[in-house]
Every structure is written in C-alpha cells, then in structure tokens.
Amino acid sequence: MDISTTTLRIPTVAIRRTVLVVLLVLASTALLNGCAVNPVTGEEELMFFGPEKDVQLGRKYAPQIERALGGRFPDENLQSYVNRIGQRMARVCHRPDIAYHFTVVQQKGINAFAVPGGYIYITSGLLQELDSEAQLAAILGHEVGHVVARDTLVAMSRQIGMTALVAAAAIGDAPGDVTRAAGFISGVLTLQYSRDDEKDADMVGLSYMIQAGYNPEAMVETMQILDELQAMRPIEFFSTHPNPESRIAYLQERIGNRYALFTELPDGEEEYRKNVLDILAPPHARQPTADPNAVDQ
C-alpha cells in the first residue's frame, strides 16, 4: 500500500505520528477498505474506516451527543415530521443504504450537526427561524451531504488526529476511555469543515432538494435567514459553518444555470407552520396583538 500516491486530506505530521498505530489496527482487525471514491467529490480517498465503522461510531456516541446538544425535543409529532422530511432527502442521496436518523434537540442555539453514520441533529432554535418545509429540507439535505461525503471523519481526523479517531472507535471500558470519548464528542460538536466540504454539501443538498420535489431557492432563503440572524448576534451555526455570503452567490448561480425550471416546485409553508411553528410557538404566543383597532374595552 503506497500512501504517498493516494489523496489524503490529513496533515503529513499526523500521518507519520499515526501510521504505525493505524497499521497495527489494520493488521489485527482488517479495517481498511482500500481506496474509496467519495461519491460527492468524486475524489479517491484512503479510508481508514470502512463505511460500517461510521455507523458503529455514530451508534456508539449518538446518545451522548444528543444529551450534550440539549436532549431530544419532547414532541414526537414534531420529531416524526422532521424525520419524514429528512428521509425524503436520504432516499435520493448518494448513500440511501445508510439508516439515517434525524433528531430535533431542545436548544435555543441555532445549529445543525451531522455525526458519522447518518445521525443528524437540528436544534429547535433553528427550526423556529425557518419558514418552510423546503428550507428544512435544505438544511437536512446539506447535512446528509456531509454524511455521504464522510466529511465528519475526514475533519475529525484532521482535528483530533487519526490515532484518537481509531481509539474512539475502539473505546471499551478501560480506564481513560471515558476521557477519550468526551474528547471525541466535543470534537464532533466543534468541528470545522473546510469551505470545499461546505460547498460540496451545499451543491449535493441542492440536487437532493430538487429530486425530493422542493423549490431549490429555499436553500438561498435559508442562508439569508441565517445571515440576518448573524447580523443581530453571533449565532452558533457560524462557529461550525462558513459565512453564508459567498454561499448565496454560488447557490444563486447554480440555480440560475441549471435549476431555473425547478423554482416552481413547492415550498411547503403551510405544512411547516402546522407541523413545526405551531408546536414550537403556538400562534397566540407568537404574535402579540398588534392590531390598533383591537382596543381592549
């Protein structure tokens, strides 16, 4: 196996430091699936983990990650609605064979996360800021794009090193494992994807939206909403995602060049209001009476 001829987005120092550990692990457990073609970027990447390892990692850490994000939002109608939209995106994605899980976490912070293996989280804070089902599909489609491209694994290996990642997958009950698990979880939650990863996730998310029957312009609207929120106060989303300005430009260009015909697809504003907004903030609580004619007598 000639590592030097393979596209590998991991710093050289990290490779040197971890190659021995990795080889040992590979020798004993045959983790290596060889060079895999990333279905989103089309690039060949050396994958230290087979895709089944992603699922194993995700399943192992999902309960702790969910807790760290504020816990599952306690309304199963809302959960099943968000999951339904997520599954529509998953069905048309490059890796429909993965079992995807979409969960709303109870948190005012505005954010969305993808964890290896198909575990995707969106905060109730972000849901509350959106206006339509197509905008929700845009966010979930983008996160599915990260899962398909295995961006989380690549970024994690960059951030905490391959050694820690291999260790995280192998954690058992030994002393020190709890600390390593905590390191892995905080790593996932503060993960910074590269701009290229973000653009790829945006582009595949856009195509998933269209295949699932949503107006692609909703992805631009999502960026505009986040941008407006960011102008008021720094929002959590941008600690893990790049600034939306450049994203709006390339999304509009792509829609204009390729998807103009699809902008008549539905946005699903009514469905979103009924299934999400009315649950998160019932209509009477959302708008204080602003009608000047409604004099209280």
Q: Which residues bind Zn ion (CB under 5 A)?
A: 198, 201, 241
Please state, in angstroms and rounded to a whole number, the distance separating the CA atoms of residues 67 and 80: 19
Nearer to Zn ion, 18 or 121 (CB): 121
**DSSP string of the chain?**
--GGGS---S-HHHHHHHHHHHHHHHHHH-----EEE-TTT--EEE-SS-HHHHHHHHHHHHHHHHHHTT-B-S-HHHHHHHHHHHHHHHHHSS-TTS--EEEEE--SS--EEEETTTEEEEEHHHHHH---HHHHHHHHHHHHHHHHHTHHHHHHHHHH-HHHHHHHHH--SSTTHHHHHHHHHHHHHT----HHHHHHHHHHHHHHHHHTT--THHHHHHHHHHHHHHHHS--THHHHS--HHHHHHHHHHHIIIIIGGGGGS---HHHHIIIIIHHHS-HHHHS----TT----
Least distance in angstroms from the C-beta of 198 to Zn ion = 5
Nearer to Zn ion, 31 or 54 (CB): 54
Nearer to Zn ion, 31 or 156 (CB): 156
Least distance in angstroms from the C-beta of 190 to Zn ion = 13
Nearer to Zn ion, 131 or 198 (CB): 198
Nearer to Zn ion, 216 or 275 (CB): 216
Nearer to Zn ion, 85 or 219 (CB): 219
Structure tokens at 57: 């990692």
| Size of the chain in residues | 297
Least distance in angstroms from the C-beta of 122 to Zn ion = 12
Least distance in angstroms from the C-beta of 240 to Zn ion = 7
Least distance in angstroms from the C-beta of 290 to Zn ion = 36
Least distance in angstroms from the C-beta of 91 to Zn ion = 20
Please state, in angstroms and rounded to a whole number, the distance separating the CA atoms of residues 119 and 239: 20
Nearer to Zn ion, 144 or 201 (CB): 201
Least distance in angstroms from the C-beta of 146 to Zn ion = 6
